[in-house]
Structure formats: structure tokens, C-alpha cells
Amino acid sequence: MAKKIVAGNWKMNKNLQEGIALAKELTEVVKNPNCDVIIGTPFIHLASVAEVIKGSCIQLSAENCANKASGAYTGEVSAEMVKSTGAEYVILGHSERREYYNETPEILKEKVELALANGLKVIFCIGESLEEREANKQNEVVKAELAGSVFHLDAEAWKNIIIAYEPIWAIGTGKTATADQAEEIHAYIRSCVAEVYGAEAAAETSILYGGSCKASNAPELFAKPDIDGGLIGGASLKAADFKGIIDAWG
Ligand code: PEP
């Protein structure tokens, strides 16, 4: 069975003090969850938040890392640096980074490899635009995104990949994919994983849904057999909202 996960993606929100306060609040309200709980924070928060959540059930993720190992890349943050903060995960392939920072499948492949080489687990985001959905191209889009950046990994490396299906038209828009729409493509994604890594590995791969997921729609989404949890943007910025989604796992 795939691990059940609720992961937050704070994006470029919260200054350091606000981030520490939110992490503290989460350690107080999230107790004995029925899923893994991860918070994805900006780089500058990582080391401090790692201290705050030490000994709690909350795990830590970065939202990005460089596609170079080290050296003269002013302003970049390497996978090794991320790992040294205490973070265990990194979110890669988010549609905002693909779109606004021109992250191509090749760049993402380099980032994935460096993240894994440095002992990070990768939350790898895929998902189609509204135009692609309207042209019924969502399956070919997600398969190409997987093939372009992660399907070259060997079976051992694959165990450190979590997939987040995030239809771009549902991110931050208040428009959620219906549970049936999400389940249909999650099942397809799992079948793609099975083609490459076999049925057993596919069954053990966590496939998260992201896109305007909140406490009110999480129970219906998480009840679907191929939805193993959520990657949460807006609703991860308030402890009560995030906890509401975690509680959807019962
Ligand atoms: C995201 O960007 O990862 C996301 C799912 O955002 P939101 O929950 O705000 O739609």
C-alpha cells in the first residue's frame, strides 16, 4: 500500500518569524495523524523550522533546489545544502516553476538526480493546463512529464519519488478537479508507473492530488483508491485549515 501523505507548499509566503510561528502551531495541533505530514517551506525557513519540528510528527521539505551540485551559481541553493538543514524532501516540477522560471524536463531531471544523490525524497509535480484538459490531452501530458524527468530512474531510486498530480487549472483558482476526474487520472498515472516499474512498485507509489484542496473536499478526494493524499498550497498557510485536511484521513 502507498503511504498516505498530506504535504503543504507554503510557496513565497510568510517571513521567517511568521513561518516559525506557523510551524510551532502545527506541532501543537497535529498529533498522531493517520498520514505522513510534510511542510514545504522557503529555503530561508528550513533550518529554523527543522529545529521547531524536531521530535514532532511533522517532516520538512524544500520547494526547489539547484540543478548544479555546487560552485559559482550565485543565489542558488543546492540539494546538499537543503539536506544539511534537516529537510528530507524537495518539491520539484511545480507548474509555477515550469512556467515562471522556465524549468524544462531536462533541468528537472538534473534536479531530481541531485536531490536523490543527496538523500532527499522528491515530491514530483505533474499536471495539465486548462487548454490541454479541454483538448483531452491530460493523459499524454502527464505521461510525457514523467518520461521526461523521472522514468529513467532505476527501481531503487524510484522508491524515493512521490508524485503530485496538480491540474494547473485547479491551482489557487478555487476550482477543484472532481473526485471522479482526479481518480481517473490518478489511476492512469499509476498504470504508467506500473508499465515502467511493475504493479507492486506502482501500488506502493504515493500519488497526491493538488489544486484547491481544502478540508471540505479532502474527504471525498482521499476516499478514492488511487488518491494517496494531497499537496496543499493556500490551505497550508493556516494551521486550522491544514489540520482539517490532515483530519480527512480519520
Ligand atoms: C499548489 O500549488 O501546490 C497547490 C495545490 O495550490 P492550492 O492548494 O492553493 O491550489
pTM of the model: 0.98
Cα distance between residue 215 and residue 241, in whole Å: 7
Mean pLDDT of the chain: 97
Cα distance between residue 40 and residue 87, in whole Å: 9
Cα distance between residue 140 and residue 94, in whole Å: 18
Annotation says 45 is catalytic? no
What is the number of the ligand 1 atom nearest to the C-alpha of 234? Answer: 9
Distance 40 CA to ligand 1 centre (A): 12
Residue 232 confidence class, pLDDT cut points 50, 70, 90: very high
Which residue owns the Cα nearest ligand 1 atom 4?
Answer: 233
Ligand 1 neighbour 230 (Cβ under 6 A): no
Domain count within the chain: 1
Distance 71 CA to ligand 1 centre (A): 32
Per-residue DSSP letters for 154-216?
-HHHHTTEEEEE--GGGTTTS-PPPHHHHHHHHHHHHHHHHHHH-HHHHHHS-EEE-SS--TT
Cα distance between residue 77 and residue 70, in whole Å: 8
Ligand 1 neighbour 8 (Cβ under 6 A): no
Residue numbers of the domain that contains 24: 5-249
Does residue 175 or residue 156 have the better pLDDT? 156
Residue 172 confidence class, pLDDT cut points 50, 70, 90: confident
Cα distance between residue 45 and residue 62, in whole Å: 9
Residue whose CB lies within 8 A of the most ligand 1 atoms, among 231, 236, 245, for a mutation test: 231
Q: Is the pLDDT of residue 176 over 90?
A: no
Q: Is the pLDDT of residue 175 over 90?
A: no
Q: Which residues pair with 230 in a beta bridge?
A: 6, 209
Which residue is catalytic, options 45, 94, 128, 183? 94
Check which CATH number belongs to the domain holding 188 and give it: 3.20.20.70
Annotation says 94 is catalytic? yes
Q: Is the pLDDT of residue 177 over 90?
A: no
